[in-house]
Structure 1
Amino acid sequence: MEIAEYVQVLDREGRLLAHAAEESGPGATVSTCPGWQVRDLLRHIGMTHRWAMAYVAEGHTAYRPAEDLPELDGDELLDWFRTGHASLVDALGAAPADLKCWTFLPAPSPLAFWARRQAHETTVHRVDAESARPVTGHVAISPPFAVDGIDELLRGFHARRHSRVRTEKPAVLRVRTTDTGDVWTVRLSQDPPVTTRDAEGEADCEMSGPAARVYLSLWNRLPVPRLDGDPGLARVWRETSAVTWR
């Protein structure tokens, strides 16, 4: 995907998130994030947007901790979220192609990294916001974007030493999107997972389904559409794959 496409997704998903949060109210339970209410979700994603914007707009070349979560609530919190989201969209749209700043996953460029990461961050949390609405809605995620997000999660986040997705004995997990024909092979062991874009060798477990469903399943927002083989590997993923704030 092109950088401009990621920015468009980020813009749309942030607006949808705010709309869902406004409908549900700050005290509504976010069913996809146990222990969270909508106010917690808005504070988290609003803080994340501002943290990302600082790298893009100010060109910081080393890690900087995020600001503390605000104590705002109600309409003030929603306005704060919308302001930060719009500022991030504007910063990404105005940034030079040769932007130099800190990143934490492989990408063609720092600008491509932040546009991609924040598009997916906001999309997953938009789904969280929708789960809190009185009548749960669902805005479709395009298959190509979902495939991109699966790849970021498997070959980005869970290729890092921080990944807790590990097994005592070597095992192979396969991920397949039935509507796009994409396949990933995830080799598990006591070391960080190693993922390739292929279907080589036998798999101990296969997760499959439409790309958008698989994407949200791997982010632990939906059940796995279809599971074949050892269910223990799916349980390992569910219990250890959460990406936490660092």
Structure 2
Amino acid sequence: MEIAGFIEALRRDGEVLVDSSVRAGWDTLVPTCPEWRVRDLVAHTGSVHRWAVGYLDGKTEGRPIEICAPDDVDALADWFREGHLRLLNRLTTAPADLECWTFLPAPTPLAFWARRQAHETAIHRVDAESALGGRPREFTAEFAADGIDELLAGFHVRSRSKVRTEQPRSLLVQTTDTASDTGQPSAWLLHLSQEPLRVEQLTDTGSVSADCTISGSSPTVYRALWNRGRYEDLDVTGDPSLVELWRRTSAV
């Protein structure tokens, strides 16, 4: 996806997130994040937006995310909208050759932050919709497949990933709605061991085999891998213990 596509997704999902949160109510529990109420969800996402703006302003050293939301819940929606708009403006006006801190591979720092904030907001938009009790607005196949790729080939190849097995195992993740001629991965072969994941990005599974295979539409797989969807909605073959392992250990 292009940077402009990520920015537009971020714009839409941020608006849906805050609108759904206001309608759900600040004290409503978030089913997809049981430790949070809606106010915690909005405080977290709004703080992440402001954290990202710091790097888009040129910060070159990583620092922890600090929750900086107002204590007054009546001010929370406007506070979120202001930070969301500031993030959108920074992404839109930042120079293409921006140099700043990042933490996952990307063509450029600007491309990294556009992608990361789009998916951060998308997943938390699903959280807000779960609190409201409605069916989440569907993702496009292109966006969802990109989010799968970021999660598997970005986050979980890092040393901090807890998805490990004592004996080498393999898990194949496939999407059924991603065209192979786009060059975008439509399958990911995960090699699990006592070391961090090794991930093969595939455009054609051909004769690939694995101990367990999960497949489905890109949006369904995207939500499931982020533990925001039901694995019952996917086609799972082989050893189901690897799906349970992912559920238990894959939180980012």
> Which bracket does the TM-score occupy, shorter chain normalised?
over 0.9
| Pairwise CA distance, 1:71 | 4.4
Equivalent residues of 2:43, 2:76 under 8 A apart: yes
Matched residue, 1:240: 249
Aligned amino acid, residue 139 of structure 2: I
| Pairwise CA distance, 1:180 | 1.8
Equivalent residues of 1:30, 1:131 under 8 A apart: yes
Matched residue, 1:155: 153
| Pairwise CA distance, 1:70 | 2.7
Matched residue, 1:208: 215
| Pairwise CA distance, 1:178 | 1.2
Change (3 A) 1:223 1:107: same
Matched residue, 2:16: 16
How many residues end up aligned between the 2 structures?
241
What stretches of structure 2 of length at least 5 have no aligned partner?
180-185
| Pairwise CA distance, 1:105 | 0.1
Q: How does 1:186-225 map to 2 (within 5 A)?
A: 186-198=190-202, 199=205, 201-224=208-231, 225=234
| Aligned-partner Cα distance in 2 for 1:122–1:132 | 15
Matched residue, 2:28: 28
| Pairwise CA distance, 1:69 | 3.6
| Aligned-partner Cα distance in 1 for 2:228–2:72 | 25
Please list the CA deviations of residues 159-206 of structure 1 after superposition, one character each: whole Å capped at 9, or x if unmatched: 111111000000000001112251110000000001112336420001
**Scaled by the length of structure 2, what TM-score is found?**
0.93
Say yes or no: does 1:89 pair with 2:88: yes
Where 2:95 maps in the other structure, the secondary structure is: coil
Equivalent residues of 2:104, 2:155 under 8 A apart: yes
Matched residue, 1:53: 53
Equivalent residues of 2:10, 2:118 under 8 A apart: yes
Equivalent residues of 1:27, 1:39 under 8 A apart: yes
Please list the CA deviations of residues 37-67 of structure 1 after superposition, one character each: whole Å capped at 9, or x if unmatched: 10000010011000001100x2011112333
Q: How does 1:3-152 map to 2 (within 5 A)?
A: 3-56=3-56, 58-133=57-132, 135-152=133-150
Equivalent residues of 1:26, 1:73 under 8 A apart: no
| Aligned-partner Cα distance in 1 for 2:28–2:34 | 12
Equivalent residues of 1:39, 1:73 under 8 A apart: no
| Aligned-partner Cα distance in 2 for 1:146–1:179 | 10
| Aligned-partner Cα distance in 2 for 1:34–1:67 | 21
What stretches of structure 1 of length at least 5 have no aligned partner?
none
Aligned amino acid, residue 242 of structure 2: L
Matched residue, 1:228: 237
| Aligned-partner Cα distance in 2 for 1:98–1:18 | 31
Give the share of equivalent positions with the same residue, in percent: 52
